[in-house]
Every structure is written in structure tokens, then in C-alpha cells.
């Protein structure tokens, strides 16, 4: 075969792979920024290695992000007023993203304060949390059309939640990895303002110990879809996949009502979860 023919064949194979990935992403409900970033990745695969920090920066006042910010894989950590790493509610974040903002290639070190706040639609691409403080990221958009994309990256040492979903809209977590955690994603169980929320977790590595992958409120019609989830070090299957709660807006502790796939709120089957 001539070199020209080889080139045409490679182009056809590349196009076929890209269309397959985009088709799979669309089937998962990925749109906008989430679809774009997913289409640039392979459809499945093992977790990537944790990156080494290329320098570091102490942050004493929340960094506000509009548009796109590339951190160049620098480590950012809290100091002064942001020097806490406890579980107290109401802490300020290291980064605060305005509606439509993108933050990429960032390592959040310790102390991490309240990580990242997304005030509307946002994309977190290749963001790593070495030691989660209160939460790694909190999604706070108030529009039902808000979309939050977490593409790649990982989190360690989250005593409670990694991603706190307080706002409205859809959260897509793709090609992420987490270890030593309480909950990977939790829709707010007792916020004073409640919304209907949708979650997709795709092509993600979960390493024990951990309590649950997602937690949702069925009385607000939350949904969670899990696809291609790999759980490591949990031969006893103690990590719950999808926990259902009855949420409230009074601040009371939400009531757990069940867990596992149910076809309506927790949308996945046993074949979507593998234990390694």
C-alpha cells in the first residue's frame, strides 16, 4: 500500500474512533463542554498517573476565574484566611469560577480550604486534589440549563464529599479517579433552596476505602447514571454505588431510602460496575 493510501486508511480509522466516542458521549447525555472534552479522549481505560507539581503558590485570597485559566500543573494551597482544611461549612474556596469558566491543569494541595466553587456552568479539566478539605468542588449554578464538566483529574483523602452538587442542572464526571473518600458526588440533601439535578459518572476509577459513589434525592427527581466504573480494593463490595435519599429544605438530616440501580433514579446495571 502506498504512503498516501496508508494516510487515507489512518484518517478513516481516526474518524471512525472519534465518531464512536462522540456517539457514546451523546448516549450518556454529554453535551457542550462535556462532549467536546470527551470526544478528545478514548472511550475507556485505566486511570492515568498522578502528575508532579511544576512549582507551587500559596493562596490567601480566593482566585476568581472568568474565561479559561491554565494552571500549568502548579500546586495551589491555602494560607492565611484560606489555611483551613477541616469540615466546617461556609469556608471560602481556593478558586471561584464564574458562569462558563474553565479551569485546567491545576493541583490543589493542602490545606485546600473549600477547593473550587462553580457559580454557574463550568469545566474542570485535569484538576487534582491531593488532600480534599471540606469539599473538592461545589457546583452552585441556579439555572436548570447549567452544565458542569469534570474531565480527568483525581482526588484523595476526602473525609466526606468530593463533589457537592448544591445548584441546578447536570454534572458530568468523566475519566476521574478517587481514593480514600466518603462520597464521590452528593446532591445537597438539606439546602434551603432545592433543585432537580442529574449526574453522570463515566469511565472512572474508585479505590477503597470509600462509602458511596453518588447520593441523590428521589423526592426532587434527581437521577444518576453510572457507566464503566472500576472499583479497586473492595472485594467485599462495601462501597455503595447509588444511594437514594429523601431530601429537604429545612436543614434536617436527609433520610436514606435505598441504594443500587432501580431503573428510574439510579440508572445503571450490574455490568456497568466492575471490581478489580
Locate cell 481505560: which residue? 45
Contact 255, 191 (CB under 8 A): no
Q: Going residue by residue through the chain (276 aa), what tens digit of pLDDT does each one get?
A: 443 444 444 444 444 434 443 334 443 444 444 443 333 333 445 578 999 999 999 999 999 999 999 999 999 999 999 986 554 556 899 999 999 999 999 999 999 999 999 999 999 999 999 999 789 999 999 999 999 999 999 999 999 999 999 999 999 999 999 999 999 999 999 999 999 999 999 999 999 999 999 999 999 999 999 999 999 999 999 999 999 999 999 999 999 999 999 999 999 999 999 999
Q: Within 13 Å, how many C-alpha atoms sit on residue 166's CB side?
A: 20
Tell me how far apart the alpha carbons of residues 68 and 83 are, in angstroms, rounded to a whole number: 25
Q: List, in order, residues 6 or more apart from 239 with CB less than 8 Å away.
A: 206, 208, 210, 211, 212, 213, 231
DSSP string computed for 58-108: EESSPEEE-SEEEEEEEEEEE-GGG---S--TTPPPSEEEPTTEEEEEEEE
Domain ranges of the chain: 3-275
The class (CATH top level) of 3-275 is mainly beta
Contact 184, 207 (CB under 8 A): no
Look up the pTM and report it: 0.84
Contact 170, 147 (CB under 8 A): yes
Amino acid at each position: 500500500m502506498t504512503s498516501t493510501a496508508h494516510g487515507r486508511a489512518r484518517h478513516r480509522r481516526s474518524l471512525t474512533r472519534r465518531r464512536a466516542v462522540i456517539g457514546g458521549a451523546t448516549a450518556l447525555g454529554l453535551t457542550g463542554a462535556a462532549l467536546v472534552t470527551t470526544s478528545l479522549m478514548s472511550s475507556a481505560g485505566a486511570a492515568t498517573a498522578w502528575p508532579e507539581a511544576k512549582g507551587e503558590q500559596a493562596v490567601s485570597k480566593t482566585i476568581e476565574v472568568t474565561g479559561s485559566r491554565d494552571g500549568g500543573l502548579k500546586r495551589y494551597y491555602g494560607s492565611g484566611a484560606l489555611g483551613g482544611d477541616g469540615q466546617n461549612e461556609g469556608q471560602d474556596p481556593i478558586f471561584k469560577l464564574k458562569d462558563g469558566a474553565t479551569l485546567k491543569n491545576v493541583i490543589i494541595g493542602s490545606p485546600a480550604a473549600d477547593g473550587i466553587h462553580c457559580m454557574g456552568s463550568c469545566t474542570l479539566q485535569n484538576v487534582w486534589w491531593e488532600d480534599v478539605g471540606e469539599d473538592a468542588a461545589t457546583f452552585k449554578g441556579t439555572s436548570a440549563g447549567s452544565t458542569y464538566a469534570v474531565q480527568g483529574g483525581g482526588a484523595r483523602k476526602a473525609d466526606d464529599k468530593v463533589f457537592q452538587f448544591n445548584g441546578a442542572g447536570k454534572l458530568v464526571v468523566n475519566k476521574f479517579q478517587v481514593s480514600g473518600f466518603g462520597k464521590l458526588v452528593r446532591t445537597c440533601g438539606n439546602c434551603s433552596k432545592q433543585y432537580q439535578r442529574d449526574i453522570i459518572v463515566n469511565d472512572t476509577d474508585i479505590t477503597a476505602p470509600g462509602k458511596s459513589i453518588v447520593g441523590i434525592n428521589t423526592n426532587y427527581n434527581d437521577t444518576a447514571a453510572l457507566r464503566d466504573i472500576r472499583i479497586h480494593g473492595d472485594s467485599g463490595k462495601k462501597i455503595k454505588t447509588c444511594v437514594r435519599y429523601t431530601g429537604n429544605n429545612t436543614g434536617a438530616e436527609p433520610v436514606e431510602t435505598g441504594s443500587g440501580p432501580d431503573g428510574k433514579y439510579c440508572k445503571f446495571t450490574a455490568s456497568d460496575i466492575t471490581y478489580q
